[in-house]
Amino acid sequence: MSAPHCFTQDYKSMDLGERRPLHRVPWFIAGVGIPLICVAFILPDDSPAPDAAPLAEPVTVATTEAGAVAELDAPEIAGNTGAGDVSNAPGSAATADPEPFGERLTLTIRSGDSLDRLFKRHGLNRTDLANIMTLDTARKHLRLIKPGDEIVVHVAENRVLQLDRQISLSEILSIRRADDTFAARIVEHELEAQPVLANGTINSSLFLAAAAAGVSDRVIMNLVGIFAWDIDFVLDIREGDAFTVVYEEFWQDGKNVAEGDILAAEFVNRGERYRAVRFQDPSGRVDYYTPDGRSVRKAFVRAPLSFSRISSNFNPSRRHPKLNTIRAHKGVDYAAPTGTPIKAAGNGKIVHRGRKGGYGNTVIIQHGGNITTLYAHMSRFSKARIGSRVKQGDIIGYVGATGLATGPHLHYEYRRNGVHMNPRTVKLPDAEPIDANYMTAFKEAAGPLLQQLDHQQTLVAADTR
Ligand SMILES: [Zn+2]
């Protein structure tokens, strides 16, 4: 096997015809030395469920607090937000519970704070805190605090009348004084999910196109995750590629508080159209499927390293001019900063981990179907040893420049029955299709979403006419 040649991308020059002649392409990356492109794949499993979104979400306490008040006392005053709210609001429940709200304070946890310290700093009665902490519900949801967390209290003469803490996007811990004791409850703060459709066309980078379309990095990374088995987002994105995405937004009191999952998506890569629809089958399994019910997952991802926003710019000149060396090159090179995590392209067993001549620090994984993948030039390895079983996406090492490499990059090879295949174009084995029992349910759920993608396509076509 020949030693890897760096700065060549493909082991075949098969698609050169699609590109502009290299000598006419500005080689602006040359100043940096290495085209910094990386990739990635995010398993849909990794995307946080909306209700798992922690307090770190930029939720305004004023809003949630008002919601809590409304829920507790008088739903009709929900709009009556702001500091200094007084509980003897017009009407209803508030009158049944005439206790004054006192002064409303938003307490922000600082580094090193305990609740006790927080109370002390604000001159609040610490016996009240001690009493509150005797409540199971309160203890459960106040035990863990971190800097930046906010707690809203209503106080009168340093005594706590009410204490609220948002514990999830849709739940608030609310503690109220009742005479000399406290009672805690969890108040539901309803979220409204709304589907949003956005689309963009790539001129320079996927992230810029997403920003222009008003799509967050999080959504676009999820999109990358959905299509990571079909599209090499590091090397194959081209000017003119386009995406359409339908995803959920969560609204609360007229504010957009969180993004949910992608419901359906389309990516047109070099004229090839890929579509995926999210589906939860009756057994509870959630996955993305093609319109005909095949899983978007495959036994191998296209590009086995992490994708970063900074290095994602589409650059048609990323090939090194010395393409005449291509014949000897047996893999794909992904230039990426030293230390970029390298992930197992598929499930398998590590059969080599160590130096390997010009490859430098190298890992070889044996997969099913007599397939092996090879990852070279690593700066260092992960903990996975020879003989370790690894899953797709497990980190096996980090990008480096060991062996015959002039700059940090991953050299990646894919072999079937010992024969090198082009990892960028080899047909990858499919993962599990949708359970036949669920196909009808899938078609019913997917239909309207696919119609939205169709509709968008019609609009775009009309627009460019
Ligand atoms: Zn190489």
Torsion sign, CA atoms 427, 432, 435, 441: negative
Check if 1-41+302-433 and 51-188 are the same fold: no
Predicted pLDDT of residue 92: 35
Cα 317 to Cα 20: distance, rounded to the nearest angstrom: 9
Predicted pLDDT of residue 464: 55
Å from CA of 383 to ligand 1 middle: 24
Å from CA of 227 to ligand 1 middle: 24
Å from CA of 322 to ligand 1 middle: 13
> How far lies 177's CA from each of 80, 139, 161, 165, in Å?
22, 16, 5, 15
359, pLDDT greater than 70: yes
List, for residues 252-270, the tens digit of each pLDDT value: 888 888 899 999 999 999 9
Cα 302 to Cα 423: distance, rounded to the nearest angstrom: 7
Å from CA of 360 to ligand 1 middle: 11
119, pLDDT greater than 70: yes
State the average pLDDT for the chain: 77
Report whether CATH 3.10.450.350 matches the domain 51-188. Answer: yes
200, pLDDT greater than 60: yes
Predicted pLDDT of residue 423: 85
Å from CA of 58 to ligand 1 middle: 44
Other Cβ atoms within 10 Å of 20 Cβ, number: 9
Å from CA of 249 to ligand 1 middle: 42
Å from CA of 385 to ligand 1 middle: 23
Q: Any idea which residue has 């959920």 for tokens?
A: 248
Q: Any idea which residue has 């690593």 for tokens?
A: 378
Predicted pLDDT of residue 149: 93
Å from CA of 408 to ligand 1 middle: 11
Predicted pLDDT of residue 100: 52
List, for residues 39-57, the tens digit of each pLDDT value: 333 333 333 333 333 333 3
Q: Where are the domains of the chain?
A: 1-41+302-433, 51-188, 191-300+435-465
Residues 339, 379: contact at Cβ < 8 Å? yes
Lowest-confidence segment of 98-107, 158-167, 207-216 by average pLDDT: 98-107
Cα 201 to Cα 423: distance, rounded to the nearest angstrom: 26
List, for residues 295-327, the tens digit of each pLDDT value: 898 889 888 987 665 444 444 344 443 444 444
Predicted pLDDT of residue 64: 30
Of 51 and 140, more confident: 140
Q: Any idea which residue has 């900063």 for tokens?
A: 337
Q: How confident is the model at residue 461 (pLDDT cuts 50, 70, 90)?
A: low
CA 190 from centre of chain: 24
Å from CA of 344 to ligand 1 middle: 17
Predicted pLDDT of residue 136: 94
Å from CA of 234 to ligand 1 middle: 15
Å from CA of 371 to ligand 1 middle: 19
Å from CA of 359 to ligand 1 middle: 8
Predicted pLDDT of residue 102: 85
Class of the CATH-defined domain 191-300+435-465:
alpha beta
Strand partners, 342: 305, 397
Report whether CATH 3.40.50.720 matches the domain 1-41+302-433. Answer: no
Predicted pLDDT of residue 80: 36
